[in-house]
Amino acid sequence: MSRPIPCALTIAGSDSSGGAGIQADLKTFQELKSYGMSVITSVTAQNTTGVQGVHHLPPVMIKQQLEAIQADMPLHALKTGMIADIRMMKVVAEAIPYFQAPYVMDPVMVATSGDVLMESEARFYLREHLIPLTNLVTPNIPEAEMITEKNIESAADMEASAEHIVHGFGAGAALVKGGHRMGEALDVLYDGKKMYRFTSDRITTKNTHGTGCTYSAAITAYLSQGVPLEEAVRRAKVYITAGIRHGFSIGKGNGPTNHWAIREEGARDECH
């Protein structure tokens, strides 16, 4: 019997410049050989210098997209990115349990450019109602600080934050990403039992637009293929590191990551 085609879904915002959001997620799914589907929450007018405009889709349209997938499409893993307000979050929270697939949440709050992508009161809804539905949450350091309301200064603080997100807020696992620190690019994963560290050299580049989206999409793609969580993160870290190392100097600001990097450069051994 032939194996089913791995199917992955992203519920996120559209980035017109193609570096983050839905576009980054679908490029990642495609490159990693999972069939990609999308539910668009908001449309952003965005480029490498920042976000110039945002239009939120009506929650009923988000619901319709989710129902269209539920009615017809197989699904083996899903992720969420930008969900800007509570009304949208409610629709997503109702839909997630019906999918019965691993759920990865990238709790997108603020873009690297400083543009706000989630209303501040929605953070509490996300924490109370969406995080308990997750198999994995992937905050960067400012997002982890907002979720736990505790400062992160050190690697030990990152680990404490990951534990807090799991035991305090009910996430299945937490991956706290160290892209916003100095020194080596350290991420910590806590799965409720064990702590893991993933590191790579810090790459000197300004082309980091969409790194968080791409990383969580790569984890989702591997999960859709049945790869266990720790191994999915390990492989995704290799993917994002190569993507940053060979990032594109496109546009006047922070260019996007390169989804062909592993295929073209064979950049397999850059992480430990």
Ligand X SMILES: Cc1ncc(COP(=O)(O)OP(=O)(O)O)c(N)n1
Residue 111 touching ligand X (CB under 6 A): yes
Stretch 132-151 residues interacting with ligand X (CB under 6 A): none
CB 232, min distance to ligand ADP, A: 13
Q: How far is it, in rounded angstroms, from Cα 269 to Cα 272?
A: 8
Which residues contribute to the site for ligand ADP (CB under 6 A)? 140, 177-180, 185, 187, 200, 202-203, 205, 208, 211-212, 215, 237, 240-241, 244
One-letter amino acid for residue 54 of the chain:
V
Q: Which does 200 bind (CB under 5 to 8 A by kind): ligand X, ligand ADP, none?
A: ligand ADP
Identity of the residue, 157 or 187, whose beta carbon is nearer to ligand ADP in the bound complex: 187
Q: Which does 81 bind (CB under 5 to 8 A by kind): ligand ADP, ligand X, none?
A: ligand X
Report the 3 state secondary structure along 86-130.
HHHHHHHHHHHHHHCCCEEECCCCECCCCCECCCCCHHHHHHHHH
Please tell me the number of Cα atoms within 13 Å of 255 on its side-chain side: 17
Residue 80 touching ligand X (CB under 6 A): no
Q: Is 170 a catalytic residue?
A: no
Residues touching ligand X, count (CB under 6 A): 19
Contact 69, 9 (CB under 8 A): yes
Q: Is 243 a catalytic residue?
A: no
Identity of the residue, 186 or 266, whose beta carbon is nearer to ligand X in the bound complex: 186
Which string of DSSP letters, residue by residue, matches 148-165?
HT----SHHHHHHHHHHH
Contact 107, 139 (CB under 8 A): yes
Q: Which does 96 bind (CB under 5 to 8 A by kind): ligand X, ligand ADP, none?
A: none
Q: Is 90 a catalytic residue?
A: no
Choosing from 208, 220, 241, 257, the catalytic residue is 208
Stretch 189-228 residues interacting with ligand X (CB under 6 A): 208-213
Please identify which residue in the block is written with the tokens 């049945």.
Answer: 226
Q: Which does 25 bind (CB under 5 to 8 A by kind): ligand X, ligand ADP, none?
A: none
Stretch 20-79 residues interacting with ligand X (CB under 6 A): 20-21, 44, 46
Q: Which does 55 bind (CB under 5 to 8 A by kind): ligand X, ligand ADP, none?
A: none
Contact 127, 153 (CB under 8 A): no
Long-range pairs of 61-64 with CB within 8 A, sequence gap ≥ 24:
62/11, 62/88, 62/91, 62/92, 63/91, 63/95
Q: Is 271 a catalytic residue?
A: no
Tokens of 240: 């994002």
Residues acting as catalytic residues? 177, 208, 210-213
Interface with ligand X (CB under 6 A): 12-13, 15, 20-21, 44, 46, 81-82, 108, 111-112, 117, 208-213
